[in-house]
Amino acid sequence: MTSQEVIKGLQSLTRRAVAWLLGISPRTLRDYVDLPRNDDRTYDARQVVAFIRSKLRPIVPPIPDWELAVLLREKSIADGALVTRG
């Protein structure tokens, strides 16, 4: 199979194929009413990826220990609560 044939296949995926790719059931995929479809009701893999990416929240890196220490100053976190030291 050539690269062009693979690309052509990715431009016309069935609901079952997209559901398998995303690790969900075809019924769950059907509930994504705003997921773009082709005129023939198939899915373009690029549009599926763009849709999923648009739904993701950005990953926020954890605050380094030194920056957390500066922010907390005379406070610390104990059992999930912000407390004053001393």
Buried b (16+ CB within 10 A) or exposed e, 7-19: eeebeebebebbb
pLDDT at position 80, please?
65
Provide the mean pLDDT of the chain.
87
Residue from 40, 33, 43 nearest 12 by CA:
43
**Strand locations in 1-86, DSSP E?**
75-78, 81-84
Quote the pLDDT of residue 42. Answer: 97
Structure tokens belonging to residue 54 = 């648009």
